[in-house]
Amino acid sequence: MRGWTGKLIRVNLSTQSIKLEDLNMDDAKKYIGGRGLGSKILYDEIDPKIDALSEENKLIFMTGPMTGTYASCAGRFNVIAKAPLTGTIGAANSGGHFGPELKFAGYDGIIFEGKSEKPVYLYINDDAIELKDASHLWGKNVFETTDALVEETSEGARVACIGTAGEKQVLFSTVMNDKDRAAGRSGLGAVMGYKNLKAVVAKGTNSIGVADNTAFQKAVLDARNKIRKDPISGIGGGLATYGTQVLANILNEAHSFPTRNSQDTVFEGTENISGEYLTENYLVRNKACFACNIGCGRVIKIPDGKYKGIVAGPEYEAGWSFGAACGVDNMNEIDKANHVCNMY
Amino acid sequence: MKGIVISPEKCTDCRLCELACSYTKTDGFNPKDSAISVLSFDEVGLQVPMTCLQCEDPHCMTVCTVNAITKDEKTGLVKVDHDKCIGCKMCVSACPFGNMTYSPRLKQVIKCDLCEGTPQCVAICDTGALEFKELDGFLKKKQYIAGQFKEAFEEV
């Protein structure tokens, strides 16, 4: 079947061995997509009673059959492991460009087992896959690590890594890719940190084909035309114009904006932390993930003050949690807090 | 004469243009086999899609020793005849903008041919960063973009 590359990488960090295996196509059809298939593999391969931060836990990076194609928003991938934060299956998905690059390198996913003795990173460059020493990167933040790895591997390589929070196994730490996209849910950065796996670097030159070109083009175009006309996701819609922070004013007006640690549902300072305010005073441009025709991501410029500079803008989650939930109505502070989270 | 007009300030770095191009011209999706590429300058928040400008006096055509590259005087299109091309890659070196690429996988040069008048990269671009239109009166736009570059460099 096309769409899938049909190959998985299995890395045992304890023995430092790397093996290729074929994708189980029955499972791929039944549990379609990165989250389904990754969860199925985890379910089959680990004992549910294990400690999330133990050698028995496995960390899985998985893409879907459409990742890397031009289907709308098909640039995503999933990170799956038993989650240290919740004790259940943790599946965190992220956009950016890492997932497609893994597919272009020729692999649908990676399964990490065991625990490395010293810090390592996995470098995938088409057929060449190797574990490399990452001692010099341990202690570096996400931005420093990403820049250093692109420099020492190859130009155009895409990096998914942990910052110092993941290294120290903070229970809500994330796996970060392309600097400011996060596989954030359920603390999977801690699993990566426990395994002494600092980063995964992918670069690929292969093509991804589809089985039925005519049907695929029609399905993608139909879906895209629906998205284009949508008042929220469409051209000139809420998400493209104001980013996900467009929700702030909407939820505030609906009296469901979690405020001061959820003691209130209306925040009097919403105007100053809204998507509208961000767009008017900070926006440099929209930044989309791979193959996404919505483009809710923001590149913003903090124009003055001690946080001056160009950074990735806050999503609704950061805008709400550092803003209303903390009783903060200063956009500079929220932007900086969001940037620090991305960094570590 | 119509051409692809690029507005970098509108580009979101989604790379759909690269995917549409490679899927139209080859057997699958592959940004490395695309005639259009987005160059990203994250530190200043700038993305620039780059593709063949269909030059009036194309260097790629001048250096081609087997006359595989020709320019259509009526449409302005600069075209590669892959049957004549011997893959010497002189044109890749000659293009002052780096818009001629060579795919080792396909063993041929990759160059924009405007998809017979309906460029697929433009068709898929929802942001307005790519437009296919008559080429005239762009001074205002040039000023705007030059201003953006100036601002960006001041930042650095």
pLDDT per residue as tens digits for the range A240-251:
999 999 999 999
- What pLDDT band is residue B75 in, cutting at 50, 70 and 90? confident
Question: What pLDDT is recorded for position B42?
Answer: 81
The pLDDT of B36-60, averaged and rounded, is 91
Question: Which residues neighbour B82 within 8 Å (Cβ) at sequence distance 6 or greater?
Answer: B68, B108
- What pLDDT band is residue B127 in, cutting at 50, 70 and 90? very high
Question: What pLDDT is recorded for position B41?
Answer: 87
Q: Are A58 and A279 in contact (CB under 8 A)?
A: no
Rounded alpha-carbon distances, angstroms, from residue A319 to A132, A314, B42: 37, 6, 22
Taking all residues of chain A, what is their mean pLDDT, rounded to a whole number?
A: 96
The pLDDT of A120-141, averaged and rounded, is 98
Q: Is the pLDDT of residue B135 over 80?
A: no
Question: What pLDDT is recorded for position B113?
Answer: 94
Q: How many CB atoms lie within 10 A of CB B109?
A: 24
Tens digit of pLDDT for each residue in B1-24?
Answer: 788 989 998 999 999 999 999 999
Cβ contacts (< 8 Å) between A104 and chain B: which residues? 30-32
Q: Is the pLDDT of residue B104 over 70?
A: yes
Rounded alpha-carbon distances, angstroms, from residue A91 to A97, A187, A343, A344, B127: 18, 10, 21, 20, 31
Per the model's pLDDT, the better-predicted residue between B139 and A290 turns out to be A290
Q: Is the pLDDT of residue A64 over 80?
A: yes
Question: What pLDDT is recorded for position A288?
Answer: 94
What is the reported pTM? Answer: 0.93
Cβ contacts (< 8 Å) between B45 and chain A: which residues? 284-285, 287, 299, 301, 310
Question: What pLDDT is recorded for position B144?
Answer: 59
* Nearest CA distance, B103 vs chain A (angstrom): 10
CB spacing of B30 vs A207 below 8 angstroms: yes
Q: Does A104 touch chain B (CB under 8 A)?
A: yes
The pLDDT of A96-117, averaged and rounded, is 97
Determine the topology of domain B54-111 in CATH: Alpha-Beta Plaits (3.30.70)
Best of B10, B14, B121, B144 to substitute, by most chain A Cβ atoms within 10 angstroms, is B14
Across the beta sheet with A7-12, the strand order is: A17-22, A7-12, A109-113, A59-63, A77-82, A89-94
> Among residues of chain B, what percentage have pLDDT more than 90?
67
- What pLDDT band is residue B146 in, cutting at 50, 70 and 90? low
Q: Is the pLDDT of residue B83 over 70?
A: yes
Best of A69, A104, A310, A339 to substitute, by most chain B Cβ atoms within 10 angstroms, is A310
The pLDDT of B59-73, averaged and rounded, is 95
Q: Are A183 and A174 in contact (CB under 8 A)?
A: yes
Q: How far apart are CA A66 and CA A34, in angstroms?
A: 10
The pLDDT of B104-114, averaged and rounded, is 92
Q: Does B115 touch chain A (CB under 8 A)?
A: no
Q: Does A61 touch chain B (CB under 8 A)?
A: no
Best of B7, B10, B13 to substitute, by most chain A Cβ atoms within 10 angstroms, is B13
Closest Cβ opposite residue A288 in set B14, B26, B104: B14
Tens digit of pLDDT for each residue in A191-246?
Answer: 999 999 999 999 999 999 999 999 999 999 999 999 999 999 999 999 999 999 99
Q: Burial, B102: exposed, middle or buried (Cβ in 10 Å; 0-12, 13-18, 19+)?
A: middle
Question: What pLDDT is recorded for position B44?
Answer: 82
The pLDDT of A123-136, averaged and rounded, is 98
Provide the ipTM.
0.91
Q: Is the pLDDT of residue A318 over 90?
A: yes
Taking all residues of chain B, what is their mean pLDDT, rounded to a whole number?
A: 89
CATH 3.30.70.20 residue window(s) in chain B? 54-111
> Looking at the DSSP assignment, which residues form a beta bridge with residue B80?
B69
- What pLDDT band is residue B138 in, cutting at 50, 70 and 90? low
